[in-house]
Amino acid sequence: MPVFNTSLPVAIGCDHAGFEYKTQIVPWLNQQGWQVHDFGTYAANSVDYPDYAHPAAAAVEKNECAFGILICGSGNGVCMTANKHQGIRAGLCWATDVAKLIRMHNDANIICIPARFVALALAQEMIELFMNTPFEGGRHQNRVNKISC
């Protein structure tokens, strides 16, 4: 069962390296009943990832979207960009255990996928775990409270 507000859309954004995955992930999310706000890119042409990561992160930060999915070649560029927003806790995921832990321990609200390093099926599995793993709170809440500057 999703732990995020299902009445809000999912924010998704990518650069050219993540475009192919995004075209597969959006309909997959729709099939699960999620509305998706697609912040682009809308083609495989070379683009600058911050142009898509910033608007997606802002929508999550303003509670216009339940959570975010950002995809680029390494996942690092979109992750660093999203984490510039005070209300964002974006986590880079390359394994299912990491996807669970960024939710359980860090209360992440954006998952960042490295399209050049994980298979699409693994990306979807990580997103599924991310969407359905609750934040544990407790001792982790104190740490999360110290993240913002």
Return the active site residues: 72, 105
The label of the residue with tokens 């600058």 reads 48
- Terminal CA-to-CA distance of the chain, rounded, Å? 32
Instruction: Give the containing element (helix H, strand E) for 52.
Output: helix 50-61
Question: How far, in Å, are 33, 77, 88, 132 from residue 53 at the CA level?
Answer: 23, 9, 11, 23
- Contact between 70 and 113 under an 8 Å Cβ cutoff? The reply is yes
Q: Please name which of 64, 98, 62 lies closest in space to residue 79, comparing C-alpha atoms.
A: 98
DSSP state of 74: S
